[in-house]
Amino acid sequence: MNKLTFVLIGLFIIVSVVAGIIAFVSSDQALVQAIQPTLIMIAWSLLALVLIMGLWIGFQTRESKRELPLITELWEATRQITEKHKDILINVAELPEPSDNEKIMRINSLAELVKVADSLLKPVLHQTDGENHIYIDIDGTVWYMYLTIEPMS
């Protein structure tokens, strides 16, 4: 909950307590009957405002969590594998361009590319522009490649 919600709940409690104190302490029944309904109406209005804000905040939170879960899961899995296999990953500023006689094989996951690199006993080259990541394992004329796209925040 945000600060405004706590302030409104606090005001609800204060107004309710004041209405109770006035009713308990005051000997003037006309004053109690005049002020108490107004204070009770203010307290209930504050409570309704708190409930509306809670629903709105809950709706906003739920909407923000509906981001692309599959991309987020893939990104997180790739990040974990990158951390786990950092000993075979080589970060490069720029990747070479493949020649016409070289084939590019797209790999479905970084875990699969790591398996290929392990079987070939070759490192995996990694290039990033901060958002997208390219992982390549070069074996002669065959390039094994995995691409990731970072989910938008």
The count of other CB atoms within 10 Å of the CB of residue 19 is 20
Helix (H) or strand (E) run with residue 148 in it: strand 142-149
107-145 tens-digit pLDDT? 988 889 989 998 999 999 988 877 788 889 999 899 999
Alpha-carbon span 110 to 74, nearest angstrom:
10
- Mean pLDDT (the chain, rounded): 76
Give the integer Cα–Cα distance in Å for 66 and 62. Answer: 7
pLDDT one-digit tens code per residue, 79-93 = 777 788 778 888 898
Strand-strand pairing, 132-139 and 124-128: antiparallel
How many CB atoms lie under 10 A from the CB of residue 149? 11
Judge whether 120 and 111 are in contact, CB under 8 Å.
no
Can you tell me the distance from the alpha carbon of 62 to that of 67, in angstroms, rounded to the nearest whole number?
A: 10
pLDDT of residue 145: 92
- Look at residue 64 and tell me whether its pLDDT is greater than 70: no
Residue 39 has pLDDT above 80, yes or no: no
